Structure 1
Amino acid sequence: MATESARSERAGGVSSLRGLAGGGVFLPGDEEYDRARTTWALAVDLRPAAVAFPTSAAEVAAVVRAAASAGLRVAPVGTGHNAHPLGDLTDSVLLRMSGMSRIDIDPDARRARVEAGALWLPVIEAAAAHGLSALHGSSPDTGVVGYSLGGGVGWYGRALGLAANSVTAVELVTADGSLTRVDAEHEPELFWAVRGGGGANFGVVTTIEFTLYPIETAYAGMLVWDLRDAHRVLSRWARWAADAPDAVTTSYRHLQYPPIPEIPEPFRGRQLVIVDGAVLADDAEAERILAPLRDLGPELDTFGRVPAATLARLHMDPEQPTPGGGQSALLDELPPAAVDRLVEVAGADSGSSLFLAAELRQLGGALGRSQPGAGAVARLDGQFQLITGGMMVGEFAKQTVADCERVVDAMAPYSRGRQYLNFQEEAVDPSTGYDASTWDALLRLRKNADPAGLFQANHEIPHR
């Protein structure tokens, strides 16, 4: 624990950051400080020693060196979707990467090179102009770097695997303030570590390069039922998902929509079951794959052939900062008893709080297989990803926490306590995201790369 004198000394050193990042540095007391420290996750009240908005790798390096000299840590974030576990930033510089958003597409090499502040939607649209797609996730405004280097589970995941394993190079500013490029031939151990261990545990990522795929269209959409149908739909989906071909990746959700004009009419004020996803197959094969779900008679069926770029908004994730939060867990299976239990704690008669979502993502396929040259998260050790979430503001916060805990606890018998950390929005033991040998290697590499613990990540690997 830092002494008061040490804190005072570091606070005095904060002023040395003034003028860096082209003047984009804000300290407590500055008029723009509150705006600068607010991330996408509005429920998180971060109060850093300073906030910096660099616009180049050189500016990142200057801030890193100045922070180290001042005895401060550095916490890099893109959008801050998963800022909840960051913790105390009293002695840290919050490094906001939104000012670095350049996107370059090389259609011949089928490769994208993007800066650390780039969001998925502009990347998806830029790639689509060349008939290509990336292994993006369900949210159009998630940062490319945090999503990809944490693993990356998207609509093509069961066919093509984790996004982290399509990353071909990373450039980052290391603890000594130097810019380093890592790939399969240069610093291969560090390249392995950042692909799943997260860039922020080893430096400040400034640029990432990754493979694009020749996907122009997909057979995608959603099936919708009233929440009263949850038991029969989940029973069928659980059996179907376990044996479905790798070409299809889906999500199963219980959603409660508020009665507000911003919600489309079919969903407004309702409690629903939604199965959405994508199939990388021709129409006839896709229809054959989805037939067991369609046989349940959904009241809305939007599945059909669509441009690949539209999948960015398929899940209807919020596209603006949101005061939400939640918990998650990897599940091994969904036997009938698990179906019963989930409907009991998150179904129509469960008493769950308004706006609570309970979601299961279909894993397996390529997501469950290690590929040659993969990173630290080579595969996900589970068949389903459980995600719970809700509003974390005012009167809803305590009830949301209680409801999320109730759902996760109810499904604990079907989990071995492993985590996919990208979906874990509270502080947990980060070793639960890795197998034992991977964790040992990450500990060693973190100590080598950042022995003083300069960098502060949301799910931090200990540096000593």
Structure 2
Amino acid sequence: MTLLPPAVEPALLRAIDGLLLPDDPGYDEACTPWNLAAVQHPLAVAEPTTIAEAARIVAAVTAAGHRIAPQASGHGAMPLAERGLEDAVLLRLHRLTGVQIDVEHRIARVLGGTLWRDVIDAAAEHGLAALHGSSPDVSVSGYALGGGLSFYAREHGLAAHHVRALELITATGEVVRVTADEHPDLFWALRGGGGSFGAVVAMEIELLPIADVHAGFLLWDISAASAVLAAWRDWTRELDRCATTSLRLMRFPAMPDLPPFLSGRAVVVTDGAILADDQRAAELLAPLRALAPEMDTFGRMPAAGLAHVHMDPPVPSPAVGDHVMLGDLDDAALAALISVAGPDAGDAPLSVELRHLGGAVAEPQDAAVPSLDGDYALFVVDLVPAPELKAPASARVGGVAETVRGWARGAPYLNFLDHVADTGAASVETAERLRRVRAVYDPAGTWVAAHPLPEMVGEDQAMASSSRALRSSQSGITSARSAWNSEE
């Protein structure tokens, strides 16, 4: 890949106000995403605090001949780091935050770097809830651009299908409003199609009229894994769509920061939410409670409490993961999972999770991710406490994924993938439509997304090099003219 001459490139970038270059104080901190295992070394990094500042930076960077990788919280930073940012400027949006609630219309307008916890708290003041994920410190924009799978999903569908408007910075630095009526093809693409079309700096999302919810978790020792996994599988096969749950086989190191019931233990946990009254919820939970969990926290709680039920890490952490979309799980599939994550698995990862899908999640909508077609989403995660442990951790999570790949069905859920995969994998028609939208709004391939469009896979470096060369030659001519005029 051909880069601009080293003597020219830093000078062009240094002239852009708001960029940090590798030798600037604060560069390393600005490049660090939430997932600390993802190492990012872009040409430069920007941390705008306003939409106007972000648009100005985008216009200047593209005029200088460089590509741009937008990023909010950086939970899903691993694929972007894998693609490499050596020829791109990283546009960190994590300082561009804010929430406004339209109570009458049940709409939240959130700026591009806003985390779910801020939306959850703001909505709760008005007896409303959002289709957030299992972690409160994930960004709203990144989550929705990938689809958005919540504990309300089987009743209400994917979060992307509840987006009503977006504000997007295009490759030229223009800010456009995108709705079903304004730029409708782009609106379709952004609802699940990822970050290949621009930088989302604001989003309007529907809220749910939910003030409280029946939610919690059930916990057993890992010795009960086979019985619990089989019972949960049987239970979910006929489960009312008002219930959205997950099941995890988990192993925790002995750490003082963990609660005693988790520290140094291996456990089975099923958690989630039931959108029904307490009597109906108790009826639904009865088959699992018959297995005598040692802990049972299911009960009525404020809707804002649902963001903490899954007990995701509350602070930035280094981790690797893998994912497979699965169909129905027969007994052989359960035995395969137990062999790599059950009580006798010698080197199992931190968490082997199954998310129950179906219901509204499987009902197609007019969006780039119309639905999730599997019955369960497998999500495997392991911690990386030191850089040299990344390779063995990746091998562990990949090994679990491979063990059950024979039961795979449907396109993957991109927000669960820790390696590069193309968007539009659900169908040839989806892929082609995404390509057409990209050709209209970013024909030069300015934007670098965690998961590229299909034609970018395997061709990304060539496309990036040619588009950068074209823009660089244009900016070089402009710089030469400026220098000539100044000498005159």
Q: TM-score range by the shorter chain?
A: over 0.9
1:426 maps to what in 2?
A: 419
Return the alpha-carbon distance in structure 2 between the equivalents of residues 63 and 128 of structure 1.
Answer: 35
1:78 maps to what in 2?
A: 72
1:213 alignment partner, SS class = coil
Aligned residue runs from structure 1 range 234-313, under 5 A: 234-313=229-308
2:192 alignment partner, SS class = helix
Question: Within the alignment, does 1:41 sit opposite 2:72 as a pair?
Answer: no
The AA in structure 1 aligned to 2:452 is E
CA offset digits 1:242-282 (Å, max 9, x no partner): 21010000010011111111000111110000000100000
**Of 26, 32, 54, which residue of structure 1 is paired with 2:26?**
32
The AA in structure 2 aligned to 1:358 is V
Query: How many residues are paired up?
Result: 453
Shift of 1:178: 0.6
**Of 99, 105, 130, which residue of structure 2 is paired with 1:103?**
99
Deviates more, 1:384-393 or 1:109-118: 384-393
CA offset digits 1:148-196 (Å, max 9, x no partner): 1210000100000000000000000111211100101111110010000
1:447 maps to what in 2?
A: 439
Return the alpha-carbon distance in structure 2 between the equivalents of residues 168 and 428 of structure 1.
Answer: 27
8 Å contact 2:40–2:84 — kept in the other structure?
yes
1:222 maps to what in 2?
A: 217
2:113 maps to what in 1?
A: 117
**Of 345, 350, 361, which residue of structure 1 is paired with 2:345?**
350
Shift of 1:7: 6.2
**Of 386, 396, 405, which residue of structure 1 is paired with 2:389?**
396
CA offset digits 1:409-451 (Å, max 9, x no partner): 111111046211011011234343x222111101111122111
2:354 maps to what in 1?
A: 360
The AA in structure 2 aligned to 1:386 is L
CA offset digits 1:91-131 (Å, max 9, x no partner): 21111112211100011111100000100011101000000
2:370 alignment partner, SS class = coil
The AA in structure 2 aligned to 1:454 is T
8 Å contact 2:192–2:368 — kept in the other structure?
yes
2:475 maps to what in 1?
A: none
8 Å contact 2:374–2:409 — kept in the other structure?
no
2:144 alignment partner, SS class = helix
Q: TM-score normalized by structure 2?
A: 0.90
Deviates more, 1:446-455 or 1:390-399: 390-399
**Of 121, 125, 145, which residue of structure 2 is paired with 1:149?**
145
8 Å contact 1:37–1:47 — kept in the other structure?
yes
2:437 alignment partner, SS class = helix
The AA in structure 2 aligned to 1:192 is W
Aligned residue runs from structure 1 range 122-201, under 5 A: 122-198=118-194, 200-201=195-196
Return the alpha-carbon distance in structure 1 between the equivalents of residues 424 and 191 of structure 2.
Answer: 15
8 Å contact 1:83–1:458 — kept in the other structure?
yes
Question: Which runs of no fewer than 5 residues in structure 1 stay unpaired?
Answer: none
Return the alpha-carbon distance in structure 2 between the equivalents of residues 423 and 8 of structure 1.
Answer: 40
Alignment identity in percent? 44
The AA in structure 2 aligned to 1:74 is I
2:191 alignment partner, SS class = helix
**Of 406, 428, 438, which residue of structure 1 is paired with 2:430?**
438
8 Å contact 2:373–2:409 — kept in the other structure?
no
The AA in structure 2 aligned to 1:430 is T
Return the alpha-carbon distance in structure 2 between the equivalents of residues 394 and 39 of structure 1.
Answer: 15
The AA in structure 2 aligned to 1:187 is H
8 Å contact 1:327–1:423 — kept in the other structure?
yes
Deviates more, 1:344-353 or 1:394-403: 394-403
Shift of 1:403: 1.3
The AA in structure 1 aligned to 2:342 is G
Return the alpha-carbon distance in structure 1 between the equivalents of residues 244 and 207 of structure 2.
Answer: 18
Return the alpha-carbon distance in structure 2 between the equivalents of residues 395 and 225 of structure 1.
Answer: 33
Question: Which runs of no fewer than 5 residues in structure 2 stay unpaired?
Answer: 457-462, 464-488
Shift of 1:11: 3.7
Q: TM-score normalized by structure 1?
A: 0.95
1:84 alignment partner, SS class = helix
CA offset digits 1:360-392 (Å, max 9, x no partner): 000000001124xx3211110101000001023
Question: Within the alignment, does 1:381 sit opposite 2:361 as a pair?
Answer: no
Return the alpha-carbon distance in structure 2 between the equivalents of residues 443 and 75 of structure 1.
Answer: 18
